[in-house]
Amino acid sequence: MVIDDIPILVADTDKNNAWQYEHQRKYFDKAYRNVAMEAWQETYNERIFKLFNPNLNKRKRERLFLDIGVGGSGYTVIEAAKRGLYSVGCDLSLVGIKKARYLAQKNDVARKTFWVVCNAEELPFRNGTFTYICANAILEHLPNERKALKEIDRIAGKKADAFITTPLMYRFVWPFLIPLNFIHDIRIGHLRRYDEKVFERKLKKTSRFRIIKVYYTGHLVKTLIFITSLVFRTHAFDRFAEKVDALTLSRKFGASNISIYLRNYTSLKALSKIKLLS
């Protein structure tokens, strides 16, 4: 099916969890109606493209970027296109994809971007297609995140890079903030949380990707500023919050999110050299 020139390739293979997908679609359709670039998204772009940058100038035409669950701002896909990469954004929400495509047109990168509605567990792309892959705040929503990890591995090319962000496990969150995080998890449809050991265990079973770097974000100062912004409806301190949060990227306790930077190793010889890259 195609709607407004956007392919709709949502798989209907998991009827037992249809309620979860419908909940996600309704929630984010509403969230994507008014989308603007936020300070944390600018920081996210700076972080991932600094990591991906060493290879960006080599044969750009043969390198493709993908954001799984790109959302209504399309911020990563648009930024990748500005840097000369052909970029793809996919999401479960048609409303979000339409908004992202419109913003790509406003930023004069429509010809270098492609948008599709699909499930993260059934990505409609060929094996080994992408060199750079992002999945921000996606895995925790999925009934079958192991299948999504296998899909990411399948579509990744040789020596592909990936950047994945999820909520951090409760035992590392400030105890007095756990109730707020718990309520947020229920409201937004989070099914689980992660830490580095959980990722390592899941990746060993599902993919050739291995962890190169780990980042912890959403520390106390940023969280308090975020709550203040909601109460007083202001974003005046958002950039300050990002700068402060960047000072504690290696501190696990007190964070609310974990991000992992991955590289796809295609042979045992390459895998043996992982320590040289960390």
Q: How many CA atoms lie less than 13 Å away from 206 in the CB half-sphere?
A: 20
Choice between 173 and 268, residue whose per-residue pLDDT is larger: 173
The CATH architecture one would assign to domain 2-266 is: 3-Layer(aba) Sandwich (3.40)
In angstroms, the Cα distances linking 187 to 28, 154, 191, 192 are 12, 32, 11, 13
Average model confidence (pLDDT) for the chain? 88
Residue 62 has pLDDT above 80, yes or no: no
Give the pLDDT mean for 200-208. Answer: 90
Residue 87 contacts residue 104 (beta carbons within 8 Å): no
pLDDT digits (tens, 9 = 90+) for 207-258: 899 999 999 999 999 999 988 888 888 888 999 999 999 999 999 999 999 9
In angstroms, the Cα distances linking 99 to 29, 93, 231 are 10, 10, 27
Residue 97 contacts residue 120 (beta carbons within 8 Å): no
> Quick one: DSSP state of residue 194?
B
In angstroms, the Cα distances linking 60 to 77, 206, 263 are 15, 28, 18
Question: What's this model's pTM, rounded to 2 decimal places?
Answer: 0.89
